[in-house]
């Protein structure tokens, strides 16, 4: 199954009033051997006046890796050193807590397949039920609102919308910036389509085929 099409076949129930924006930090980019170090997520609630980020509805936790990773460049990137890694929570406990907090909310992430695959592998390694839910890739949705642009990375898209992220590659900071970007992208869509999850998934999928990243 193509990662970008996951939501089309996902049979999990969906909360249409609460979405979640999520980001993970990992020991590296190889899903086969690297591990999740940190996960942060923020609730987006749909109210009568539109979408609203709810700071009180947030999740953030470090996961203790099976073996601490000391790659210098990687640590410089995300700032999660060996001491903090060792103080992280047991992966099974953190992932179960994340499951409970997510509820039936669909998940939005920038380069969602990356986050989804790493979390799926982490769940499998920890003996936790996988995060089977609806996902939307903001990296695919954003180009649908400005197809004339060559923006690709999260930094590119933040610059397009004038969003400042003072500390990149920190899960909590990245998830806040991603959530701000999501609000900007939604505001660029027709009002009657902004809260329509199925429409957004179709739009992102069509953008992926028309504008391969």
Domain contains 10? no
54-71: average pLDDT: 83
Say what the pLDDT of residue 170 is. Answer: 83
Q: In the predicted model, is pLDDT for residue 126 greater than 80?
A: yes
11-38: average pLDDT: 90
Determine phi and psi for 33, rounding to 5 degrees: -135, -20
Domain contains 81? yes
**Which letter does DSSP use for residue 90 in this model?**
P
Domain contains 8? no
Sheet with 50-62, side-by-side order of all strands: 50-62, 36-47, 18-26, 107-109, 135-137
- Give the DSSP per-residue string, 6-34: HHHH--S---SSEEEEEEEEES-S-TTT-
User: In this structure, what token pair is assigned to residue 33?
Assistant: 């051997």
User: In this structure, what token pair is assigned to residue 179?
Assistant: 């959530």
Domain contains 212? no
- What is the tally of structural domains in the chain? 1
Domain contains 79? yes
Confidence of residue 36 (pLDDT cuts 50, 70, 90): very high
Say what the pLDDT of residue 27 is. Answer: 87
Confidence of residue 61 (pLDDT cuts 50, 70, 90): very high
Residues 6+ apart with CB under 8 A from 29: none
Q: What's the pTM?
A: 0.86
Confidence of residue 4 (pLDDT cuts 50, 70, 90): very low
Domain that holds residue 189: 15-207
Q: Residue 141 belongs to a domain with what CATH number?
A: 3.30.420.10
Domain contains 3? no
Confidence of residue 68 (pLDDT cuts 50, 70, 90): low
Comparing CA positions, the residue from 206, 212, 201 lying closest to residue 8 is: 201
Domain contains 193? yes
Confidence of residue 131 (pLDDT cuts 50, 70, 90): confident
Contact 205, 144 (CB under 8 A): no
Q: In the predicted model, is pLDDT for residue 3 greater than 50?
A: no
Domain contains 1? no
């Amino acid at each position: 199954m193509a990662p970008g099409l996951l939501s089309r076949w996902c049979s999990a129930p969906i909360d249409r009033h609460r979405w979640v924006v999520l980001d993970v930090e990992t020991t590296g980019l190889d899903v086969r051997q690297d591990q999740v170090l940190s996960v942060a997520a923020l609730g987006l609630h749909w109210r009568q006046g539109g979408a609203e980020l709810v700071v009180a509805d947030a999740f953030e936790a470090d996961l203790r890796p099976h073996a601490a990773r000391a790659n210098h460049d990687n640590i410089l990137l995300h700032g999660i050193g060996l001491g903090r890694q060792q103080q992280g929570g047991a992966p099974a406990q953190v992932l179960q807590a994340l499951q409970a907090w997510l509820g039936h909310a669909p998940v939005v992430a920038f380069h969602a397949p990356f986050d989804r695959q790493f979390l799926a592998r982490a769940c499998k390694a920890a003996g936790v039920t996988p995060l089977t839910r609806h996902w939307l890739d903001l990296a695919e949705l954003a180009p649908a609102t400005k197809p004339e642009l060559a923006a690709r990375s999260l930094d590119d898209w933040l610059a397009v919308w004038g969003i400042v992220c003072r500390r990149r590659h920190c899960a909590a900071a990245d998830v806040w910036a991603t959530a701000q970007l999501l609000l900007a992208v939604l505001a660029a869509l027709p009002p009657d389509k902004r809260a329509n999850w199925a429409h957004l998934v179709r739009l992102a999928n069509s953008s992926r085929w028309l504008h391969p990243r």
